[in-house]
Structure 1
Amino acid sequence: MTPELTEEEMRQALFGIPVPEEEIIAIPAQDPAPEIAPAQPVIPTLKKKVAKTFTPRLKVTLRVGNEFEGETHEMIHEADTLSTLLAEQEAVKAARKKYRFVEVVSVKSM
């Protein structure tokens, strides 16, 4: 290559030789006609039943009431978690909506 290229030679090297507009043939775009096939009846297939995955559950037993040192009721809350702390917090939060005094009795796995 020669170190001194003209501007036109550089353009041809980078972009190629320009094609005159007269030589460009525009082909009109044709919309292909979609072939519509008649609808076929849907054949029901037997669906495989997916085995339910094991969801860990904890049973939280609470003693709840609205009077201090008064009548209490036992309430059971089921939580979908492995964490006893989260299950306990979830149960207390649910019980506080209805009762003023809440005491956790036990947290057991189901």
Structure 2
Amino acid sequence: MSSELTEEEMRRALFGTPQPEEQVSAPRVSEHVPEVVPKKPATAPQVNKKTAKAFTPRLKVTLRVGNEFEGKMTELIHEADTLSSLLAEQEAVRAARKKYKYVELVSVKSM
């Protein structure tokens, strides 16, 4: 028995026998159908309810800032809307650097 297979036999072994494709006829176009416009049902006017304010996590970052080296320093409090103390610290320092040259972190507390 020969182990040589023809290309056609290999295709049949891998992919199976080809099945004839079924021809699908195009859908019929029906005659003009009158359009029906849906009307809004009559409902009572809705009363705007006040939604409860969702809890947003906040951290209070306290910084000492100043423009003179070893000069007068003032305290600055920044509120951040995050749970990450690192992100809150970075955000506060970035905001303080816009106005002050020297920034020192004092504390990061949750509110």
TM category, shorter: 0.5 to 0.7
TM-score under structure 2 length normalisation: 0.62
Alignment match, 2:76: 75
TM-aligned CA distance change 1:28 to 1:64, over 3 Å: closer
State, as a whole percentage, how many aligned pairs show the same letter: 60
Q: What SS class does the counterpart of residue 102 from structure 1 fall into? A: strand
**Which aligned pairs between 1:3-82 and structure 2 lie closer than 5 A?**
14=20, 29-36=30-37, 43-82=44-83
Q: Give RMSD over aligned pairs.
A: 3.1
Q: How many angstroms apart in 2 are the aligned matches of 1:80 and 1:39?
A: 42
**Bigger-Rg structure (1/2):** 1
Alignment match, 1:85: 86
1:41 is displaced (CA, Å) by 6.0
1:50 is displaced (CA, Å) by 3.8
**Residues 11-58 of structure 1: per-residue CA shift (max 9 Å, x gap):** xx9467x9xxxxxxxx65423211346666664223554433322111
Amino acid at match of 1:101: Y
In the alignment, structure 1 segments of 5+ residues that lack a partner are 1-12, 19-26
TM-aligned CA distance change 1:45 to 1:69, over 3 Å: same
Amino acid at match of 2:80: A
Count of aligned residue pairs for this structure pair? 91
TM-score under structure 1 length normalisation: 0.62
Q: How many angstroms apart in 2 are the aligned matches of 1:69 and 1:94?
A: 21
Q: How many angstroms apart in 1 are the aligned matches of 2:85 and 2:21?
A: 70
Q: What SS class does the counterpart of residue 93 from structure 2 fall into? A: helix
1:71 is displaced (CA, Å) by 2.2
Amino acid at match of 2:65: V
**Residues 75-100 of structure 1: per-residue CA shift (max 9 Å, x gap):** 11011122222211111111111111
Q: How many angstroms apart in 1 are the aligned matches of 2:65 and 2:93?
A: 9
